[in-house]
Structure 1
Amino acid sequence: MAGTNRSAAGEVYVWDPFVRVFHWTLVVAFTVAYVLTEEDVLTVHVWAGYLVGALVLARVIWGFVGPDHARFSDFVYAPGASLRYVRDLVLFKAERHLGHSPGGGAMIVALLIFLAATVITGLIVYGGDQQAGPLAGMFSKDFGESFEEVHELIANITLALVIAHIAAVVLASFVFRENLPRAMVTGYKREL
């Protein structure tokens, strides 16, 4: 019945509950892991990182088995198409998409890759430096400590991607006159 009311109001259901819960849980988990890095809150940092890793893995699986707009086949475009879309968005002449746009799709792939890299390098650091976690004992303490800079660099690149993502969502919301963050809460977007 809610779908009928929304449809009558010119909206269509796009983002399934898994995608929405994944998105906002990832926002919280990455923020916690990024902000809480001091030794006295290392356990919270590590568990937030584990959660990020589990979320990324679940999202990759969902990208193959989830509903249409959640699938990679719906939003992974050739790099040229993604770059043209970003150019057109900046010029206020991009085509509106019901699911993820070519630029949004590229950002999702980049974020998933860099989030996974952040988690993997964090596991290496934790396994070596702290001799803890699933990789405990696989790396020396010196190696774990030296790998910490790599982990921090990748986490900072991930943060830069997050900032670019937020800026693009704000721009696209303005260009298309549609509240995209609201759509990621409710699941509904304006019909094409």
Structure 2
Amino acid sequence: MPADTPTLVRIWDLPTRLFHWALLTAVLGAVVSAKSGQMDWHPRFGYAVFALLAFRLLWGVVGGRWSRFASFVRGPGTVWRYLRGTATAGERLDVGHNPLGALSVLALLAVLAVQVGTGLVSDDEIAFTGPLNALVSTDTGLAATSWHRGWGQWLLLGLVGLHLAAIAAYTMRGKGLVSAMWLGDKALPPDTPPSADGPAQRLLAAVLLAGCSLGVWWVVTRWG
């Protein structure tokens, strides 16, 4: 076999893959429950998103190589070289999230964080009052509710749609993004360093997720 023949390399560790699909499920659940008036379930899905976002923030520091923010958050110069097609192979910009995909991911996580934050302090004066609403003024709570139900919601849906459109476009070009996020591996040059994905890494992820979930539970019950 030639030395440069692509081989399967572990890019997305199991915790990252589970996070991805769990976040998708929680966001869909939050949207559907809100649209169908199931306000008992809407905040539960929101709390799940809260815990998952906290986990991803930590996992972006200590997770597998290609799940770390340091591996895919790039500066303007690198993004520009990628757009111009002048990046070098040694930069490995297409191994995990490419520079454009990274911007999409960061924007999606940021908007989700704002939606969670505004939901926690919201008050629709009908069926739901966020557990942290008492910590803000009435005007702030109403402004947060307006954003959460208006611009924030549509911005989130727009970013999700853009994310799905990008995945579809890459799939049509033969880029196995979905299969990589499902199975964890991509066909890459054999010298591509893999992400750590052993028992110790998975145990660490479980501990971090449990801690994040307990933290969210404490926040919700402390003031809720």
Change (3 A) 1:136 1:103: same
Partner residue, 1:179: 176
Calculate the TM-score normalised by the size of structure 1.
Answer: 0.80
Which residue number corresponds to residue 162 of structure 1?
A: 160
Identical positions, percent: 35
Q: Tell me the secondary structure at the aligned position of residue 34 of structure 2.
A: coil
**Bigger mean CA deviation after superposition, 50-59 or 138-147:** 138-147
Matching residue of 1:59: 56
SS in 2 for 1:29: helix
Deviations 1:35-63 (A, max 9, x none): 21158511200010111111111001100
What displacement does 1:78 show? 1.7
SS in 2 for 1:134: coil
2: CA distance, partners of 1:149 / 1:84: 40
1:31 pairs with one of 28, 33, 38: 28
Q: Secondary structure at the match of 1:137?
A: helix
Return 5+ residue gaps in structure 1 as ranges.
Answer: 1-7, 89-94
SS at match of 2:40: helix
1:16 aligned to 2:13?
yes
Aligned equivalents of 1:45 and 1:131: distance in 2? 10
Greater Cα shift, 61-70 or 31-40: 31-40
Equivalent pair of 1:128/1:139 in contact (CA under 8 Å): no
TM-score (norm 2): 0.69
Say if 2:12 and 2:66, in contact at 8 Å, map to a contact too. Answer: yes
Structure 2 equivalent of residue 92 of structure 1: none
Aligned partner of 2:144: which letter? F
| Equivalent residue runs for 1:112-191 within 5 Å | 112-126=109-123, 132-139=129-136, 143-152=140-149, 153-175=151-173, 177-191=174-188
Deviation at 1:178, TM superposition (A): 2.7
Alpha-carbon distance in 2 for matches of 1:115, 1:158:
7
CA distance in structure 2 between the aligned counterparts of 1:29 and 1:41, rounded to whole angstroms: 14
Aligned residues: 178
State the one-letter code of the partner of 2:171.
Answer: S
Checking the alignment, whether the CA contact within 8 Å between 1:127 and 1:139 is kept in structure 2 is: no
Please report how far the alpha carbon of residue 28 of structure 1 lies from its aligned counterpart in structure 2 after TM superposition.
0.7
Gaps of 5+ in 2: 86-91, 190-224
In 1, the alpha carbon distance for the partners of 2:54 and 2:116 equals 11
How large is the Cα RMSD of the aligned pairs?
2.7
**CA pair 25-80 structure 1, distance change in 2 beyond 3 A:** same
